[in-house]
Structure 1
Amino acid sequence: MSSSVLGLVRASHPEPTAAVTVVAGLLAAAVGHRPAGIVAVLLTVLASQLATGWSNDLVDADRDAAVGRTDKPVPAGAVSRRALALAVAVAVVATGLIALTTTGPAAWCVLLGLASALLYNRPLKSTPVSVLPYAVSFGSLPAFVVLALPGAPAPPVWLVAAAACLGAGAHFANVLPDLADDARTGVHGLPHRLGPAGSRAAAAGLLLAATVILVVGPPGPPSWTGLSAVAAAVAVPALGWYAGRRAARAGGRPVAAFRSVLVVALIDVALLLASGRVV
């Protein structure tokens, strides 16, 4: 594999890209998609995640260089800005074309989520409403998966609300490792205005809200599995932020908080699978 391809992989934010794509595939299975439908969902979400990740690194290239982020492919010279811009364009077009193989409402829904994510990268990242694109993009994900199923009814409100809370929580957790670097380069989104303590509290509260909604939203009483998931949604972020603070004291980047979000996301998907079909 050439160095430029490896640079593109690194610039795609591979961990969250893989996690969100897998989540979408599991959701597609949960709502009853056939294998071809699951593949269409996976490819659509993968293309949209690649477009989002590549756009993020392209927009942030100057900022990353200013703070010495040699772990980022563009400042490190692993991929050129021109190649990254071309990759973003291809991924955006691919998202729309693949989405059209599902249903019209689903295609509009996924394009709304992608547009929201791209608007976060510029210009909303440094505004008091920086959390809004995360809520919209994450909320649109399960809506897309449900609407991509031919003949399916509108997605349940509890499902979209839980995903929106999860996305908003992910925003606060994702920014935590970069607060100091962002301050040096003039980024002042909502987490920066709340500060580390406020952002940790917001992320924890939103993640817990997402899990609770998934437990009490579906018909029927909450199960012991669901109640255990709520307990895990409390414990996992707490452990992640504790590990992140230790890493920060040691001079490292406290990425454990964001990884804990991915763990809670997988817990929430497990809740969906345990509760059966959602439509």
Structure 2
Amino acid sequence: MEAVPRRTGSPVALLLAAHPVPAVAVSGLATALAVAVGRGPAGCLLVALAVLSGQLCVGWSNDLIDVRRDIRAGRRDKPLAVGALAPSSAAAAACGAAAACVPLSLASGAAAGFAHLVAVGAALSYNAVLKRTRWSWAPYALAFALLPAFVTRGLPDHPWPPAWLLAAGALLGVGAHLTNVLPDIDADLACGIHGFPQRLGRTRSRGLAALTLLAASAALALGPPGPPGPAGWTGLAAAAGLAAVAALPRPRHPDSRLPFLLTIALSALDLALLLLRGTALR
């Protein structure tokens, strides 16, 4: 893990505390989905800004809540833990992002806005409480399932996405939770955090991550009407390979973030396959 700049309050430190990689990835995937379902330019922009503001709020609040644990664990990649960012700055940024997220979400309509705000609330509940319990997987499942709902509920007739897409989102969320926690399991247990992956242990968490990620891809390939076709089967095979690699043990680098980065790549692959098939998403 790379150390962050030590200059207190620097823009770089504030950006790093926001968990920029997942924030940009989730916002980009949501925006691509909005384009696919026919949201206009303004609608796609609203989706991008709403999801990004929600992700920023979740990222900054996560590091604020975990700052003492990160200090004890010696996390040099955490700006708050190394003193590169003042807690008051992170708190102000999180509150500002939350304040922006509400109107940006509701700008897509009450139904869509409610779906997205519930998803953000689920993520915040994970940060505050549920990450320490056996139910730590539930906020991820709910938030990822509601992301396509936010996109489609903003259309004129406010449709829900098909059940297979909701299921795929939930499964992808559980897989993302497992791969995200894998590098920190030992440090979490030392700090008294006993979430779902910590209770399973590293080996079983890797196996379950591979299964849930593959199941999400299978739902996207096999759930829509009609046969998957060559592109669908090829994509499913590629997804299986990515899921397997993400779950491989890494005894020399147990704190590697590669499994989570591969999960993001798998999400992008799943979405690309969905768009290539031209499947109706509503």
Match of 2:95 in 1: 89
The structure 2 residue matched to 1:112, chosen from 85, 96, 118, is 118
Work out whether residues 165 and 209 of structure 1, in 8 Å CA contact, stay in contact via their aligned partners in 2: yes
Aligned match for 2:210, one of 194, 198, 204 = 204
Which residue number in structure 2 is paired with residue 147 of structure 1?
Answer: 153
CA drift of 1:129 comes to: 0.5
Provide the C-alpha distance between the structure 1 equivalents of 2:8 and 2:42, rounded to a whole number of angstroms: 31
TM-score, structure 1 length as denominator? 0.95
Among 20, 28, 45, the alignment partner of 2:26 is 20
- Give the equivalent residue in structure 2 for 1:131: 137
For residues 194-246 of structure 1, give each alpha carbon's deviation from its aligned partner in whole angstroms, at most 9, with x where no partner exists.
00111011111110110000011111111211111221122113223447444
Partner of 1:273: 275
CA distance in 2, matches of 1:215, 1:245: 33
CA contact (8 A) 2:179 2:246 kept: no
For 2:45 and 2:55, the matched residues in 1 are separated by 15
CA contact (8 A) 2:153 2:160 kept: yes
2:41 alignment partner in structure 1: 35
Q: Distance in 1 between matches of 2:156 and 2:249?
A: 44
CA contact (8 A) 2:9 2:89 kept: no
How many angstroms apart in 2 are the aligned matches of 1:8 and 1:51?
A: 12
Aligned partner letter, 1:269? L
The DSSP-based 3-state class of the residue aligned with 1:78 is coil
Contact kept, 8 Å, 1:103 with 1:150, in 2: the verdict is: no
The one-letter code matched in structure 2 to 1:260 is L
Q: Residues of 2 paired with 1:177 and 1:105: CA distance?
A: 37
Deviation at 1:114, TM superposition (A): 0.4
Measure the CA separation in 2 of the matches of 1:146 and 1:2.
Answer: 41
Deviation at 1:71, TM superposition (A): 1.2
Q: Which moved more, 1:75-84 or 1:112-121?
A: 75-84
CA-CA distance at 1:3 after TM superposition: 4.9
Q: 2-side partners of 1:62 and 1:3: how far apart?
A: 18
Structure 2: segments with no counterpart, 5+ residues = 1-6
Aligned equivalents of 2:233, 2:141: Cα separation in 1: 24
Number of the residue aligned with 1:181: 187
Cα distance in 2 between the residues matched to 1:245 and 1:259: 18
Please state which structure has a larger fraction of its residues in helix. Answer: 1
Please, which runs of 5 or more residues in structure 1 have no aligned partner?
none
Alpha-carbon deviation of 1:181? 0.9
Between the aligned partners of 2:114 and 2:242, the Cα distance in structure 1 is 35
Write the letter of the residue equivalent to 1:187. Answer: I
- Look up the equivalent residue of 1:256 and give its one-letter code: L
Deviations 1:108-134 (A, max 9, x none): 000000000000001000100100000
| Superimposed CA distance per residue, residues 66-106 of structure 1 (whole angstroms, 9 cap, x where no aligned partner) | 11112101011121111111111111111111112111100
Aligned counterpart, 2:84: 78
Aligned residue number for residue 170 of structure 2: 164
Given that 1:116 and 1:133 are in contact with CA atoms closer than 8 Å, whether structure 2 keeps it comes out as yes
In structure 2, distance between residues paired with 1:240 and 1:191:
15
- Paired residues in the alignment total 275
Distance 1:143 1:31, change over 3 A: same
Answer yes or no: is the 8 Å Cα contact 1:17–1:50 preserved in 2.
Answer: yes
What is the alpha-carbon distance in structure 2 between the residues aligned to residue 97 and residue 2 of structure 1? 31
- 2:104 maps to 98
The equivalent residue for 1:254 is: 256
Secondary structure, counterpart of 2:74 in structure 1: coil
Contact 2:167-2:216 within 8 A present in 1 as well: yes
Matched, 1:218 2:224: yes
Deviates more, 1:154-163 or 1:110-119: 154-163
Give secondary structure in 2 for the equivalent of 1:176: helix
Q: Identity over the aligned pairs, expressed in percent?
A: 43
